[in-house]
Structure 1
Amino acid sequence: MSLIPLEYYTEVFINAVLIISIIVLVHTSGNTGYEVRSRRFNLAAVFFVFILLLLYMGLRPISGYYFGDMLTYARNFETLTSGGFVREKDLGFSLLFKFSSMIMSVEWFFLLCAFLYILPLYIAVRRWHHDYAFLAFLALIGSFSFWGYGTNGIRAGLASSFFICALSYRKNIPVMIGWLILSLSFHKSMILPILAFALTFIYNKPKTYLLGWFVAIVLSASMGSFWENLFMGLGLSDDRFSNYLSNTENLHQFSRTGFRWDFLLYSSVAVVVGYLYIAKFKFKDKFYHQLYNTYVICNAFWIMVIRVAFSNRFAYLSWFMMALVIVYPLLKHKMFRLQYSKIGYVLFIYIGFTYVMYYLLVAR
């Protein structure tokens, strides 16, 4: 039995992250970021929040009503435990699923999944930002899609975390490729961000990709369902890809379908802010250009299929990178006077938007 009623479980997480962002805002407003106490605060906070989040997410009660696919995973796990057969199309996740069923209970399996979801993010931000990793870590866990893909779309969540960890090994190509293969083995949809990232090694001009993003909006808005039918006909992925494009069941999960201008506006924040870092503030970090271009490519693809019932699943292929696009330059490059304080405001606004979106779209 959970100490926190299931109906409030997600809400407690959302409110806790908002409270942490307020604490960070107070901290950054009163410090420059160069003090020893600032480093100590960040080092202690990132470890403390990592442990608390792992336990809170990993030890959540099993529920299909509140955590979507979690119950399906649990039933399949019990089937394997009792000697039955479960077909999983993603090899990496299938191996994890089968091996776990032989040595642990289903409760330990979900704790393991939470660990594998959160740890790669922790590793990535520590590699990029060292003593100030907590600020990037908070942005990642405060993202609109973070909780849902840790408790519901678990395979896709794990795959995206492996992808982010892969990016942190940008200068160690063999290790990076290993993480990318692992990511793809957990969810085939990761082929899109992987190919997009690979493309940036060949061509890495943000202005060109930004232009392509605007073209995608025009084409999607003007040509209706043509692009969904085209991609479905090409069979770019397995059966799940076609199902996402054509499925009309469970539309009650969304306030409406069609061209989602509200979600497009949300996506555009990272597009605009990232380009301002590059063009206006001259942030000439080659890796950041690759990260930004990867986000723009993946988001442009989602725009092309924006009308489908489950387009949020395609949106996630860019949204999971949004926090990095917004926060990474602020922790790498001096752009503003009193920048440490401004980082606190950016985090508060970013997480505050997640808070508002939750109560507008999910909790109502």
Structure 2
Amino acid sequence: MFDWIPIEYYTVTHYHVLLLVALFIVFNSLIFDVSDKQSIRIFGPLGYFIVLVLILYMGLRPINVHYFGDTSTYAGIFKAMRNGQEAKIQKDYVFNYFMKWCSNFMDVHRFFLLLDILYIIPSLLFSRKYFGQYWFFAMFMFIGSFSFWAYGTNGLRNGLATSLFILGLYFYNRKVIMYMIFTLGYFMHASLIIPIAAFVVSGIYKNPKVYLYIWFASIPLSLVGGSAWTTLFAGLGFEDRTSGYLTNAEGNLEQFSQTGFRWDFLLYSASAVFIGWYFIFKKQIVDRFYIHIFGVYTIANSFWILVITAAFSNRFAYLSWFLMPAVFIYPMFRYKIWKDQYKTFAIILFSYFMFTYFMNVIKER
């Protein structure tokens, strides 16, 4: 469908289009107020159009090992299943049995399209439920996040698992359904145990100061402990591939070119910690759901900081980063915080997206 876009420009085209949308939001905020109903209504149809195009653009991407490595790997497995090759399934049962089932009646392109529908729709449902008529702004923050594109085209199982976690949050007040969805996410990719565990812990210890203490303590502990934390967590019984992200530096280095203590990613993570601290402690936002989400983010992010020197630690970073849009935007469209709230939000949104644009476009040149 998008064959007219050269493969080498396929990803960067996605980010250029998002930049135009981000600029449109900023310019709109300079002219209109968030209470201007006519202006806000523009974003409803625009939002659905963008979501539809994104699903098609991401789901019908070219299968090319040089640009979408995991896509090619899964395509090979899927085609083998279609040809009747016996698959030995020993882990990630939900994903693998779902792939096996789909291989009976659809081709590989429709399979990837279906995966990206499942990947994107939970963020849409979450945004619609918690932000009402302002849902598009939340949805754009999900779409414009640093790793959103990457985990819809490469880290597919990670991305689908975290999307199921977001879907579980949609049923936050229906705990049985929520935990059932979390369980599905775990069997989609076992690494989801980290945000699930963080969810349980932050549900028991509801003091956000504790979350901040944990996060700040993880930085010196990581600097002092170094690879010892990687070795420790790798021996805790994680599923084989998840442990491999921590220990197989040589095998993973091609997929994550920079190792060592990533101060740039730490600052990126710290932005959500700061915004949560600002809303909860400075602006006195007392919201059970928000404090819980902030706890999940800080605890899961602390785990990543401890293993930050691992060659493939970005897979663990995403287990907290996928919640950053919710941490940023939730109070801004649920509570009155600033006088010119729409303008302030637009500046925050644009700054948030520009990190994504810089890391994926400008830095990659």
With normalisation by structure 2, the TM-score equals 0.96
In structure 2, the gaps of 5 or more residues are none
Q: After the TM superposition, which residues 278-297 of structure 1 pair with which residues of structure 2 at under 5 Å, given as runs?
A: 278-297=280-299
For 1:81, give the aligned amino acid.
R
Alignment pair present for 1:65 and 2:66: yes
Deviations 1:119-155 (A, max 9, x none): 1111111011111100000000000000000000111
For 2:8, give the aligned amino acid.
E
Shift of 1:168: 2.0
1:337 counterpart residue number: 339
For 2:214, give the aligned amino acid.
G
Moved more, 193-202 or 308-317: 193-202
1:2 counterpart residue number: 3
For 2:210, give the aligned amino acid.
T
Alignment pair present for 1:163 and 2:165: yes
Shift of 1:283: 1.0
For 1:103, give the aligned amino acid.
F
Q: 1:110 to 1:252 in 2, by over 3 A?
A: closer
Q: What is the alpha-carbon distance in structure 2 between the residues aligned to residue 209 and residue 344 of structure 1?
A: 28
1:316 counterpart residue number: 318
Q: What is the alpha-carbon distance in structure 1 between the residues aligned to residue 243 and residue 200 of structure 2?
A: 24
Q: What is the alpha-carbon distance in structure 2 between the residues aligned to residue 189 and residue 38 of structure 1?
A: 41
Shift of 1:253: 4.0
Percent identity over paired residues: 44
Q: What is the alpha-carbon distance in structure 2 between the residues aligned to residue 63 and residue 294 of structure 1?
A: 35
Q: What is the alpha-carbon distance in structure 1 between the residues aligned to residue 353 and residue 228 of structure 2?
A: 35
Moved more, 308-317 or 341-350: 341-350
1:25 counterpart residue number: 26
RMSD of the TM alignment (CA)?
A: 1.3
Shift of 1:252: 4.2
Secondary structure of 1:234 counterpart: coil
Deviations 1:155-195 (A, max 9, x none): 11111111112112211222212221221121110011011
1:190 counterpart residue number: 192
1:113 counterpart residue number: 115
Q: 1:360 to 1:252 in 2, by over 3 A?
A: farther
Q: What is the alpha-carbon distance in structure 2 between the residues aligned to residue 86 and residue 10 of structure 1?
A: 32
Secondary structure of 1:134 counterpart: helix
Shift of 1:93: 0.6
Deviations 1:26-50 (A, max 9, x none): 1122111222213311221221111
1:35 counterpart residue number: 36
Q: After the TM superposition, which residues 131-142 of structure 1 pair with which residues of structure 2 at under 5 Å, given as runs?
A: 131-142=133-144
Q: What is the alpha-carbon distance in structure 1 between the residues aligned to residue 257 and residue 190 of structure 2?
A: 28
Q: After the TM superposition, which residues 1-364 of structure 1 pair with which residues of structure 2 at under 5 Å, given as runs?
A: 2-88=3-89, 89-235=91-237, 237-249=238-250, 250-359=252-361, 361=363, 363-364=364-365
In structure 1, the gaps of 5 or more residues are none
Deviations 1:68-90 (A, max 9, x none): 21001111011000100234421
Q: What is the alpha-carbon distance in structure 2 between the residues aligned to residue 269 and residue 55 of structure 1?
A: 31
Secondary structure of 1:64 counterpart: coil
Deviations 1:172-230 (A, max 9, x none): 22221222122112111001101111122211111111011111111110122211111
Q: What is the alpha-carbon distance in structure 1 between the residues aligned to residue 254 and residue 154 of structure 2?
A: 17
Shift of 1:14: 0.8
For 1:157, give the aligned amino acid.
G
